[in-house]
């Protein structure tokens, strides 16, 4: 397969490109700082509205993962606009371009996130659950809605509602691992909030599965066994052989990110991957401890 990938330098995109290449497929990285269009790369620039549909001819599927990091910077009004534009503007350009083609790629897997559901306490959430009402929920709703032109053109579109992707190379685990290794990692906030996680192996496995499975609409990319933040903390500490007795103060995240962004860390989302399981996907790591042991050696 020839698979075009946006966001190919991010945590998920890097792993996906490597996985495709390892199995003999041809990933085509869609890059802003690139003018080669040499078969392995394709130039696009969403901010400038630049994407030549000729570069997508002969592509079997597009995996759209581009978007500014949600918790990489403090949430000012300008940053929140950047978070929205990096997703909605890019998705709109991609969907419009695909819809304009005579023979477009038949599949678009477009990124989203479990932030779609908002803070929902102990409620079990599936793809049929209603969206939340906070900023991230609104962002995800607009992000998914921007694919409509591709759907109208008859392209099979699935929305990848990713959970907390577990990888030692980055993401939440990669950022907090040094603290846990020092024995100063601990629960965040009350610890009762549900964290819906997925190993990087299953994140990539699910995306690869969805490239060929006849699945449309939202798909929760989360492991079937979500855990509370307290259980996550204790499990990670046990895997590392480190204590996790001292709660992590929320003052740090609030000062760094602002109160609104920091609140997302203690939001509770008990998300279940019903669509993936019904479609027949088999998780390599359905439970947390084996996943962390595999990741951390």
Domains, the chain, with CATH or none: 2-296 (3.40.50.720)
pLDDT at 250: 86
Residues with Cβ within 8 Å of residue 254, at least 6 apart in sequence: 262
Per-residue pLDDT of 218-230, as tens digits, reads 999 999 999 999 9
User: Tens of pLDDT along 85-130?
Assistant: 999 999 999 999 999 999 999 999 999 999 999 999 999 999 999 9
Assess whether pLDDT exceeds 80 at residue 39: no
Q: What are φ and ψ of residue 79, in 5° steps?
A: -65, -40
pLDDT computed for residue 38 by the predictor: 67
pLDDT tens-place string over residues 67-91:
999 999 999 999 999 999 999 999 9
Specify burial of residue 81 (Cβ count, 10 A radius: 0-12, 13-18, 19+).
exposed
Cα(163)–Cα(178) distance, integer angstroms: 22
If you average pLDDT over residues 159-168, what whole number do you get?
97
Average per-residue pLDDT in the chain? 95
pLDDT at 17: 98
Per-residue pLDDT band at 37 (split at 50, 70, 90) = low
pLDDT value at position 266? 93
- pLDDT of 150 reads 98
Burial 97-114 (b: 16+ CB within 10 A, else e): bbbeeeebbebbbbbbbb
Q: What is the per-residue pLDDT across 215-270, written as a single tens digit (0 to 9) for each?
A: 999 999 999 999 999 999 999 999 999 999 989 888 878 888 889 999 999 999 99
Beta strand 227-228 pairing with 194-195: antiparallel
């Amino acid at each position: 397969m020839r698979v075009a990938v946006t966001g190919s330098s991010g945590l998920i995109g890097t792993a996906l490109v490597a996985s495709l290449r390892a199995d003999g497929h041809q990933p085509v990285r869609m890059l802003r700082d690139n003018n080669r269009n040499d078969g392995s790369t394709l130039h696009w620039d969403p901010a400038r509205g630049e994407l030549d549909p000729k570069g997508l001819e002969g592509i079997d599927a597009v995996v759209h993962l581009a978007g500014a990091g949600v918790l990489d910077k403090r949430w000012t009004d300008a940053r929140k606009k950047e978070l929205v534009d990096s997703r909605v503007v890019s998705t709109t350009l991609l969907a419009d371009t695909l819809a304009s083609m005579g023979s477009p790629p038949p599949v678009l897997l477009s990124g989203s996130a479990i932030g779609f559901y908002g803070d929902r306490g102990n409620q079990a959430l599936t793809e049929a659950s209603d969206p939340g009402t906070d900023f991230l929920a609104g962002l995800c709703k607009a992000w998914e809605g921007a694919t409509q032109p591709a759907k109208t053109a008859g392209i099979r579109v699935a929305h990848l509602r990713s959970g907390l992707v577990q990888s030692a190379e980055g993401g939440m685990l990669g950022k907090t691992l040094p603290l846990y290794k020092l024995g100063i990692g601990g629960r965040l906030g009350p610890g009762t909030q549900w964290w819906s996680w997925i190993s990087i192996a299953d994140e990539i496995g699910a995306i690869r599965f969805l490239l060929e499975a006849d699945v449309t609409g939202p798909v929760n990319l989360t492991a079937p066994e979500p855990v509370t933040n307290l259980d996550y903390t204790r499990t990670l500490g046990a895997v590392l052989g480190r204590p996790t007795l001292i709660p992590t103060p929320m003052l740090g995240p609030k000062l760094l990110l602002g109160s609104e962004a920091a609140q997302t860390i203690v939001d509770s989302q008990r998300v279940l991957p019903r669509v993936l399981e019904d479609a027949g996907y088999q998780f390599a790591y359905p439970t947390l401890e084996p996943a962390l042991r595999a990741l951390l050696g």
